[in-house]
Structure 1
Amino acid sequence: MQIEMHDIYKAFGQNKVLEGVQFSLEAGEVHALMGENGAGKSTLMNILTGLHKQDQGTIEINGNETSFKDSKEAEEAGMAFIRQELNIWPEMTVLENLFIGKEMVNKLGVLKSKQMKARAKEVFKTLNISLPFDKEAGLCSVGEQQMIEIAKALMTEAEVIIMDEPTAALTDREIEKLFEVMKGLTQKGVSLVYISHRMEEIFAICDRITVMRDGKTVDTKRIVDTNFDEVVQKMVGRELEDRFPHRHADLGDVVLEVKGLTKKGMFEDINFAIRQGEIVGVAGLMGAGRTEIMRALFGVDQIDRGEITVEGKRVAIRKPADAVRHGLAFITENRKEEGLILDFSIRENIGLPNLKSFAPSGLVKTEDEKNFADMMIKRLHVKTSSAETIIGTLSGGNQQKVVIAKWIGTSPKVLIMDEPTRGIDVGAKREIYELMHELTERGIAIIMVSSELPEIVGMSDRILVVHEGEIAGELLKQEATQEKIMALATGGN
């Protein structure tokens, strides 16, 4: 399928989102679409797939001017869109999610369960996924849910597949398998639009790249004709000297210590300590238990045994409120389900964990709350016209900045960050890294769980590697390499 998008304009009220965008897609190519959060990438793809209607401009498919009335019509024409914000029905099974709206039935309307399982098994084998079909999707990890979404797209036998941050929650091994599948699809003539902020992936898998900035097309080039620095400069309009800030950690006393933390079937005998001003990275493959350890530490899930000590005093953390009271904060990897209330404003979301500060007498001092929200919006460069903007209308990266802002307001002693830059562009990542550095200079200790090995190596003072629910090893910054981390994560030495 060949696609040409010419002079695409789109505004939502007074907010101009796209201004004369040009985009093309050749049959059998992987075309990267890059830009900072809010550049207009997702809106452009929503127009292509019929979710939105452009205000001006034309779309040509195989030389014929085309405009889909809705996303279902686009899907029937051979387009699939794997969105960054997962479209999973948590109370339905894995199998039901795979076939939702596309169930196989006989003449009497009875489900053809055997045929559905056979088809799902075929696609799962291609992706090297092993998931029980009767498992509730809501009980799957974010990475497993991402693989379910990818499998759904492959089952449609689409001619064009749009992937919006498809690897954000995947391990390196799963990413390699996905890339193999993508290469196989392009060999069959399937076209892929690849939206990602992971520069290494763009240069590994894509044929061409289009960079967008502030709703406009900046440039389109063949991947072999550009490089990392040029792409970053075009995305952000400025040079980024280094991907990670220069750190010299000035460590204080031990602020948090964990001994023998155990939850049967999840993790066993977890022991570690973290000092004031330290960033401890936590690496490991998906399903190794990284997130589960953090959830238990914050009181979201109950432990079977173990001790938690904060500033030398043993504490009992049975629920998140206990953790917050003892100076812990937790930025979850699943911002949509656990980190935000999407139909609340930015101000209300930032104010939620800080209500005691803004409502000492029981009534919220809205002006104080607004002033604090405005300060955090400015500090984190959240792209919005007002603190009263509904959070669900922001891009994924800007939503993540608001999650970080609301927890900073609690003045934590220990900040747990689970995939803090998931789905965030390279410019915004740098801003978050600088913020992390500033927080540690104020004595805050940071535990950072990340699937991005360059991020783990670049930001951590010390790295814990989790393998099958146990800490397989610890690496100091000066000795850490991606190869050593992967060796420990896969059970090696």
Structure 2
Amino acid sequence: MTETQPLLEMSNVVKAFGATRALDGVSLRVGAGEVHALIGENGAGKSTLMKILSGAHRPDSGTMSLGGVPYAPKGPREAREAGVAMIYQELALAPHLSVEANIMLGRERVRAGLIRRGEHRRLVREALELLDHPEIQPETEVRDLSVGAQQLVEVARALVSNARVVVFDEPTSSLTEHDAQRLFAIIDRLKRRGLAIVYISHFLEEVRRVAQTYTVIRDGRSVAVGDLADTSIESIIAHMVGRDLDELFPRVPHEAGEPILDLKEVATRISTKPADLVLRRGEIVGIAGLIGAGRTELLRAVFGLDPVVSGRVVVNKVSGGGARPGKRIEQGLGFLSEDRKGEGLALNLPIEENLTCSALGRHTTWGFLRLRRRRNEVRGWMERLRVKARSPLQSVGELSGGNQQKVAIARLLHQRADVLLLDEPTRGIDVGSKSEIYRLIGELAAEGKAVLVVSSYLPELLGICDRIAVMRRGALSDCRPVAEWNEHRVMEVATRG
């Protein structure tokens, strides 16, 4: 292999599913010791391209090579044996098995029908030593590890399989800032070992930290390739969405009105100090903090999904500490779960059923569901939120992440919620969809809705909120105007001993 020849090369890859052309001549080149960012909106074709690389799909046309040798895997196993490792956002680990068992799963060393335990232990020990995280022990059950440590177990699996190409697909979407920094250090180490790394992320600031080169895919085509040092985030975004975004965090004028939600010394099961917070109509308030600090638990308790151990939740001057979700919906509260696929939506059901399920009674007469009236209203919400779908009858699971999130928000608006409790509202969606959701949140505040946002993405909170509070180890700080915060100050409060 010559110095200029990439370790991984995919040229003019085409893939169609029926009449839909998912990839239309995409090319990708990654050199040894290089971190290459693959960037694009949801539905742009990134996942399809990586499924072809990993052997899950076969291309209709185009060529691939690894180390200058033609590469055309017949399936994922053949791709792994050739040296391609995939590390997905949704971790593929067996939680009840040990770290060692997970690392060697599907990679067992066998002689005469017997597993060679000694070789297993040696390989696992070498991989873990390279990661340099002594807290991850071979005998530990994976379910006892943090999400960040589990991610490193996936990396160890790639090392044991002698991977030459490693693909990281949204690896930090569920990680704390500390765990993300640990992962970046591991990626730097893999790069120095000469691996070719493909890095997929919607966090463009993070991409600039990790990668050296990039490819932008839009509508199944490669539209931009280059060095990250020579381009700007604004330019990358313009290539992604096919137009210049006026601004990533559009500011819609809105004005705070009377209080609508008042938390008076509210304690949850993991609180270390009762929380006090007042939310007003026409206001966007953010709650920052590390994963596990208690932010999600507070929102769930307010909505009635988790118990309020002590204190009072006052909605529209009506007090109650332990109301159930049905009662909260009647009071005008709407909750958007951070687990969009597990809790927020029924992926196998159509859009119209997801959008109306929390207020179905509005479309019934004498116990009969008025289907036409419901469908017409659903179409109206889809048009307002610009949900891209064939019809209200399309399964939510077939939509992109951004459009799924819009359906989840539309459900809250359909149920006529005045207070929107949004937990990680833009996790895992592309920058164009994020900008649309930010604008929508601003428009809702302008209409007099009150919005409480939990987010791990600090630029998001600083860009859209009027006030911010920080949760640290179950304690909520004072809520102060956004002008008094910056990323450094937020992290200082979130990580203070």
TM-score scaled by length of structure 2: 0.89
2:180 aligned counterpart, secondary structure: helix
Unpaired runs of 5+ residues, structure 2, are: 1-5
Partner in structure 2 of residue 190 of structure 1: 195
| Structure 1 residues 11 and 373: CA distance shift in structure 2, 3 A | farther
Cα deviation, 1:211-234, whole Å, max 9, x if unaligned, reads: 111111101111122111211111
| Higher mean C-alpha deviation, range 403-412 or range 23-32 | 403-412
Is 1:307 matched with 2:307? no
Task: Using the TM superposition, give the Cα deviation of residue 274 of structure 1 relative to its aligned residue in structure 2, in angstroms.
Answer: 0.4
State the match for 1:173 in structure 2. Answer: 178
Using the TM superposition, give the Cα deviation of residue 126 of structure 1 relative to its aligned residue in structure 2, in angstroms. 3.1
Alpha-carbon separation, structure 2, partners of 1:133 and 1:334: 27
2:133 to 105, 110, 126: 126
Asked if the contact 2:303–2:325 (Cα under 8 Å) also holds between the matched residues in 1, the reply is yes
Distance of aligned partners of 1:303 and 1:53 in 2 relative to their CA distance in 1, 3 Å threshold: same
Distance (Å, rounded) in 2 between the aligned partners of 1:351 and 1:172: 36
Give 1:340 shift: 1.4
Which deviates more from structure 2 when the two are superposed, residues 194-203 or residues 119-128? 119-128
Change (3 A) 1:445 1:163: same
Match of residue 154, structure 2, among 152, 158, 163: 152
State whether residues 316 and 322 of structure 1, in contact with CA within 8 Å, keep that contact through their aligned partners in structure 2: no
Mapping 1:16-165, distance limit 5 Å: 16-87=21-92, 92=96, 95=99, 101=106, 126=133, 133-134=140-141, 136=143, 144-145=146-147, 147-157=149-159, 158-165=163-170
Question: Which one of 394, 398, 404 corresponds to residue 393 of structure 1?
Answer: 398
Say whether 1:418 aligns with 2:423. yes
2:351 aligns with one of 328, 346, 351: 346
Aligned pair 1:453/2:455, yes or no? no
Please list the CA deviations of residues 205-262 of structure 1 after superposition, one character each: whole Å capped at 9, or x if unmatched. 2111101111111011111221112111111111112221224431111111112222
SS of 1:349 mapped into structure 2: helix
Is contact 2:257–2:281 with CA below 8 Å preserved after alignment?
yes
Matches within 5 A, 1:190-209: 190-209=195-214
* Cα separation, partners in 2 of 1:449 and 1:54, compared to 1, 3 Å: same
Q: Give the paired residue count.
A: 486
**SS, match of residue 368 in structure 2:** coil
Aligned to 1:409: 414
In the alignment, the residues of structure 1 paired with residue 90 and residue 151 of structure 2 have an alpha-carbon distance, to the nearest angstrom, of: 10
The aligned counterpart of 1:222 is 227
What is the match of residue 333 of structure 2? 328
Change over 3 Å in CA distance of 1:317–1:119 after alignment to 2: farther
Higher mean Cα deviation, 370-379 or 104-113? Answer: 104-113
Amino acid at match of 2:133: T
Change (3 A) 1:221 1:264: same
**Offset, 1:386:** 2.7
For residues 427 and 471 of structure 1, what CA distance do their matches in structure 2 show?
Answer: 31
Say whether the 8 Å CA contact 2:41–2:218 is kept in structure 1. Answer: yes
Per-residue deviation, 1:364: 2.8
The secondary structure found in structure 2 opposite 1:421 is coil
2:250 maps to which residue? 245
Q: Rg: which structure is higher? A: 2
Structure-2 separation of matches of 1:104 and 1:306:
58
Give the residue type in structure 1 aligned to 2:448. Answer: G
- Partners of 1:430 and 1:128 lie apart in 2 by 39
- Write the letter of the residue equivalent to 2:393: E
- TM-score, normalised via structure 1 length: 0.90
Aligned pairs for 1:232-271 (under 5 A) are 232-271=237-276
Q: Does the Cα contact within 8 Å between 1:124 and 1:130 map onto a contact in 2?
A: no
| Mean CA deviation greater in 36-45 or 92-101 | 92-101
Q: State the alpha-carbon separation in 2 of the partners of residues 404 and 291 from structure 1.
A: 17
Match status 1:378 vs 2:380:
no
Matching residue of 2:293: 288
8 Å CA contact retained: 1:298, 1:317: no
How far residue 390 of structure 1 moved from its aligned partner, in angstroms, is 2.0
C-alpha spacing 1:314/1:93, structure 2 compared with 1 (3 Å)? farther
Matching residue's letter, 2:210: I
Could you tell me how far 1:32 is from its partner in structure 2? 0.7
Deviation at 1:477, TM superposition (A): 1.6
Contact 1:252 1:275 in 2 (8 A): yes
Query: Structure 1 395/427 Cα, relative in aligned 2: closer, same or farther at 3 Å?
Result: same
Structure 1: unaligned runs, 5 residues or longer:
none
Q: CA deviation at 1:402?
A: 2.2
- 1:368 maps to 2:373: yes
Indicate if the aligned counterparts of 1:30 and 1:206 stay in contact, CA closer than 8 A: yes
Aligned partners of 1:465 and 1:489 also within 8 Å? yes
AA aligned to 1:453 is L
Deviations 1:445-477 (A, max 9, x none): 111111111111111111010111001343212
Q: SS at the partner of 1:406?
A: helix
Q: Distance in 2 between matches of 1:407 and 1:123?
A: 48
Change beyond 3 A, Cα 1:147–1:430: farther
Match of 1:297 among 286, 298, 302: 302
C-alpha offsets along residues 153-206 of structure 1, whole Å, 9 cap, x if unaligned? Answer: 332212222112111222222222211111011000111111111111121221
Distance in 1 (alpha carbons) for counterparts of 2:193 and 2:414: 51
1:86–1:346 CA distance, 2 compared to 1 (3 A): farther
For 1:110 and 1:266, the matched residues in 2 are separated by 48
8 Å CA contact 1:38–1:383 kept in 2: the answer is no
Mean CA deviation greater in 324-333 or 246-255: 246-255
Shift of 1:84: 3.1
After superposition, the Cα gap between the structure-2 partners of 1:341 and 1:123, relative to the gap in structure 1 and judged at 3 Å, is farther
- For the aligned residue pairs, the C-alpha RMSD in angstroms reads 2.9
Give the C-alpha shift of residue 62 in structure 1: 1.9
Distance 1:387 1:435 in 2: 20
Provide closer, same or farther for how the CA distance between residues 128 and 442 of structure 1 changes in structure 2, counting only shifts above 3 A: farther
Q: Which amino acid aligns with 2:426?
A: T
Note if contact 1:264-1:304 (Cα within 8 Å) is conserved in structure 2. yes
Would you say the 8 A contact 1:28–1:186 is kept in 2? yes
Structure 1 residues 88 and 363: alpha-carbon distance in aligned structure 2, compared to 1, 3 A threshold: farther
Could you tell me which amino acid in structure 2 is paired with residue 485 of structure 1?
Answer: V
Paired with 1:130 and 1:179, the residues of 2 have a C-alpha distance of 21
Structure 2: which amino acid aligns with 1:24?
A: R
Distance across 1 between alignment mates of 2:103 and 2:324: 34
